[in-house]
Amino acid sequence: MATAKVAVAASQLSTKLSHEVIIGDALLSDAAAIALIGANTFTATFGFSVPPNDLAEFLATTYSAEAVEAEILNAQQTNTSTFVARDESGEILGFVQLVRGLSDPSLTGDASTHAELRRLYVSTSAHGRGIGSKLIAAVESKAKAEGFKTLWLTVWEENPNAQRLYQRLGYVKVGETDFATGGCVQTDYVYAKTSW
């Protein structure tokens, strides 16, 4: 009987370990995986609301492997850090960016103390594992270490799941802004967090 309990406990431990997620800096070699997750997630979430030609152009300029490689290579010039979530085998499950030096008119306080949390995307196969929250925590930690006082983001007005996640993590809606995908202009909500 004790052997069976040990076997079950070992099995449960093995299952836990197989779901380990490691957050780290994006590498140039991660560009293709990041591009794929970005393109697939953007298309699944927003694709139905954007004309096909605008969607294709946006994906080509934003979520091609070449575009992501350029972002990673030019990170210092653009003041952008890209973080990835990896499983124990090294597979990329999601990514997020911290962008310094940007603000929004709906934010209060000194704009130099604002940083943007941008492009939180998690592979649909990895939803429900807390990966989005872990990626956000990595951005918050980096922003805090660098002395930023306000972390802000935008989220599509018709994406209630993302809005609930941000609200649960302490972000508050402070305004609205336009988001253009080619000729298609939609409304995004601006959320901000001033203490974390």
Residue range 161-188: average pLDDT? Answer: 94
Q: Which residues pair with 173 in a beta bridge?
A: 191
pLDDT, greater one: 117 or 47: 117
Give yes or no for residue 3 having a pLDDT over 50.
no
Q: With bands split at pLDDT 50, 70 and 90, how would you rate the model's confidence at 8?
A: very low
* CATH 3.40.630.30 holds for 21-148: yes
pLDDT tier at 17, thresholds 50, 70, 90: very low
pLDDT at 170 over 90: yes
Say if residues 123 and 41 touch (Cβ distance below 8 Å).
yes
Diameter over CA atoms, the chain = 67
Over pLDDT 90: what percentage of the chain? Answer: 82
* Tokens 């302490």 found at: 170
According to the model, what pLDDT value does residue 10 have? Answer: 37
Q: Does 7 score more than 70 pLDDT? A: no
The phi and psi torsions of 89 (rounded to 5 degrees) equal -90, -5
What is the model's pLDDT at position 128?
86
Residue 13 has pLDDT above 90, yes or no: no
Annotated domain spans of the chain: 21-148
What's the CA gap between 62 and 56, in Å, rounded?
10
pLDDT one-digit tens code per residue, 94-120: 999 999 999 999 999 999 999 999 999
Average pLDDT (149-162) is: 96
Distances (CA, A) of 63 to 38, 115, 153, 176: 6, 22, 19, 24
Contacting residues for 92 by C-beta, under 8 A, at least 6 apart: 30, 33, 34, 37, 84, 85, 86, 123
